[in-house]
Amino acid sequence: MLLARAPRSPAALSRAFGPSAVVLLVGVLTLFIPTMFEVATSEWTLQQGGHGPIVVATGAWLLWRELSRTRPPTSPGNLALGTGVLAPMLAVYVLARITGVLEIEAFAMYFALIGAAYLLFGGALLRAVWFPLVYLALALPPPDSVVAAVTQPIKIAVSQSAVALLHWFGYPIAGSGVTIEIAQYQLLVAAACAGLNSIISLSAICIFYSYIRHRSDPKAFAVIALSVIPIATFSNFVRVLVLILITYYFGESAAQGFLHDFAGLTMFTVALMTVFGIDSIFTRLRDWRASRIR
């Protein structure tokens, strides 16, 4: 007589593999703890990495949620494919650890852990939790070369747009590159005001929101996810605009103090309201189109 076997719960995954699960746990602790400790004590204490703890907490919740809902089958992955990912990533990890390149070390750790998970649990489990795995990567520090390449054109575009708008309204303002002069003051649009720093944070918020709300609707998820960079650029434009006006009316010290932080809160408020607005418009258009088809 054949009996149907109930799907394994996430809590039973580690028990299912015995010694292999112990090996995985030791490997995770060996790679994860020292690297993430350095990330937490160096990158997460800075403005550009402040979103890291939030991403880790929400990503861990998403990971457990997806495992609990889908309960994917588990079986060891292809040895050649898994080793082909794990071995070079471990080599890169060791080299980056020795040379002290934290960004490469963190991403090598990330892909090495994914390779190890594939070897032990198989591709079905990784496919079931693909979004939490991608989302958790946002907690890792990006390479400085990527930061520089993406930040510079955004800073220039934001500063030039702010100068053009205020000049059109009659303000005594001029700009060259990322340097802005208004009245007797001179401002430098730094990466913290317009660049990849806020884009990563806003990307995490927008992607998390769109996945939770539109997990079963790929089109809606794609629309909101692809709007991340335009939303971040627009919200940064608003922040720079506010800082310029604060400097003009209240002085440079006011712009660099409390009101600077207030401008940052304004940026995130604008970004979230824009996300909600795009979501609302898309949902109404979709419902209206569906009603017309009926």
Any idea which residues carry the catalytic annotation? Answer: 193, 239
**Three-state SS across 142-154?**
CCHHHHHHHHHHH
What single string gives the DSSP state of each residue in 38-88?
HIIIIITTSGGGTTHHHHHHHHHHHHHHHHHHH--------HHHHHHHHHH
Distance CA 64, CA 66 (A): 6
Report phi then psi at 201, rounded to 5. -60, -45
First-last CA distance in the chain: 50
State the helix-helix crossing angle for 228-250 and 196-214, rounded to 10 degrees: 130
Residue keyed to tokens 């747009």:
161
Distance CA 202, CA 212 (A): 15
Q: Which secondary structure element, helix H or strand E, spans residue 188, and what is its range?
A: strand 185-188
Q: What is the largest CA-CA distance in the chain?
A: 89
3-state secondary structure of 181: strand
- Cβ of 183: how many Cβ atoms within 10 Å? 11
